[in-house]
Amino acid sequence: MLGVGDKFPQFNVKAVSDAKLEDINIDNVFIDVTDESYPGKWKVVFFYPKDFTFVCPTEIAAFGDLNDEFQDRDTQVLTASTDSEFVHWAWRREQEELKNLPFPMLSDVKRELTSSLGILDKAEGVAQRAVYITDPDNIIRFVMVTDLNVGRNPKEVLRVLDALQTDELCPCNWSKGDETIDLHEATA
């Protein structure tokens, strides 16, 4: 599995647009997203196992609720699974909390990205529940993978992003606005 310090793999996938439901039409519902689509931005890319399931929409909606905070930090959120863009679109239309999802839903139907990252679940053949934070140079700065049955905490991902963006030493349970560790004071 790729980890901290590795370059996020190159990819080119179809995705369901992040446009508002009432603004989507046949010409803009599907978009192409690549590793170069959001130049100069931090990225949070989180993978989930399957559309039309139970834990996944709770996570996706929770990341959506925090999207403005991620954007305030110059960060693009992306979500992905191994389902097709057509299944993503059907799910987004049908699942109430996903109707106005503010970020694209990537389709890794060929399983190339999940395989490159090393997060294709061997038993189920789907994406593991993984989240990556990459810096503007697409270097992985944080990775977390949980069991397929256990949802993640998007507020913790936001907290880690804040810590990474300080480029300082951040103690346990550090939150935005807290003091960082001054190495000169700590060794004095």
| CATH hierarchy code of domain 12-187 | 3.40.30.10
Which sequence positions are flagged as catalytic?
Answer: 56
* Confidence band for 171, pLDDT divided at 50, 70 and 90: very high
pTM: 0.94
pLDDT in tens, 96-118: 999 999 999 999 999 999 999 99
* Confidence band for 7, pLDDT divided at 50, 70 and 90: very high
pLDDT in tens, 32-81: 999 999 999 999 999 999 999 999 999 999 999 999 999 999 999 999 99
d(CA 125, CA 123) in angstroms, rounded, equals 6
* Radius of gyration of the CA atoms of the chain, in A: 17
d(CA 27, CA 125) in angstroms, rounded, equals 31
User: What is the structure's pLDDT at 184?
Assistant: 72
pLDDT in tens, 13-24: 999 999 888 898
What is the domain partition of the chain in residue ranges?
A: 12-187
